[in-house]
Chains A and B, each alone.
Chain A
């Protein structure tokens, strides 16, 4: 089977919460893959996972409808089992040598990631040292990758479309928008008048009156992802005031016209705030 070149890169395909102890079917660039935990799901992340083509090479059953035994996914039809390295065993053909398409798979940062087996590409780390994890979630969008990405790498829409985070529609002409490129990255720095925000949220984010909102992101393409720094500055002094958010968004193409967003939200926080927030709402 010919896999698309984009599959060379690590893609998040599920959040850690979405993968229990039974296999799950995911689609990545139109390819259906069965993803499974090779050992019981740990209480917190960092488990071991495997991924093979969802179609059983024997007679086409969906492996994601099977179960996991001894680290292998077992086909629900005739009971052949498939290891994370793609080797297969058939109870009725003990001397047979069988193989399926396997994928590299791992669990990291609260998500399950896969790529074509054996490609030498770095894992797409994002630096959140000193930040508190606020949320992470997957959201499916019925639109092509390019169209979805376009929305997330310009701020002109934030005045009309966003509720809170963004720029005042009537003052968009004041927004500075600087683009810096390297062969591998596109950085966009935006700074301008924060759109009106309800009092309670202003208090939450603690930003000064007449603040300018800064939305500064860098987009990378192996895989497609953007990391956003969002904060406020005093428009006269240029000094930072209020909170600092760092968000990473990965854009995973499910099909040519369907894209999954994987959103990781972080806020700068001292350790005691982190423990207070975690104690208050331990959603993980």
Chain B
């Protein structure tokens, strides 16, 4: 279905506004965390945390040039199942 009339004109400003709104909500939550330490050892994690866990390992190996599978304190992070 094609986009017509007002919808086509509003696509850009409304979507841009919405994008900023969602980012602002994320930032407010992140900056208000009680614990902003990058350390996740000892946290209780759920099934939605598998992505972040796998990403931590790759960030350490590829971006930080550290050792995969070890967190800052040298404890292995198992991202195989959560």
Seen from chain A, the residues whose Cβ lies within 8 Å of a Cβ on chain B are 5-6, 9, 132, 134-135, 137, 139, 141-157, 161-165, 177, 179, 181, 183-186, 188, 201, 203-204, 206, 219, 221-224, 245, 247, 257, 261, 263, 265, 267, 269-270, 272-273, 276-278, 280-281, 283
Per-residue interface assignment for chain B, residues 38 to 72, with 1 indicating a CB less than 8 Å from any chain A CB and 0 otherwise: 10100000111111101110110111110000000
Asked, given contacts A201-B14, A280-B9, whether A151 binds B30 with beta carbons under 8 Å apart, the answer is: yes
For B11, list chain A residues within 8 Å (CB).
Answer: 132, 134, 204, 267, 269, 273, 277
A173 CA to B19 CA, complexed, in Å: 25
Q: Is the interface of A mostly helix, strand, loop or mixed?
A: mixed
Seen from chain B, the residues whose Cβ lies within 8 Å of a Cβ on chain A are 1-3, 7-16, 18-27, 29-31, 33, 36-38, 40, 46-52, 54-56, 58-59, 61-65, 79
For A142, list chain B residues within 8 Å (CB).
Answer: 31
For B59, list chain A residues within 8 Å (CB).
Answer: 145-146, 149, 221, 224
For A149, list chain B residues within 8 Å (CB).
Answer: 52, 55, 59
Q: Can you list 5 A-B contacts with CB-CB less than 8 angstroms, sorted by A residue number?
A: A149-B55, A184-B58, A201-B18, A221-B61, A247-B19
Asked if residues A186 and B7 are in contact (CB atoms below 8 Å), the reply is: no
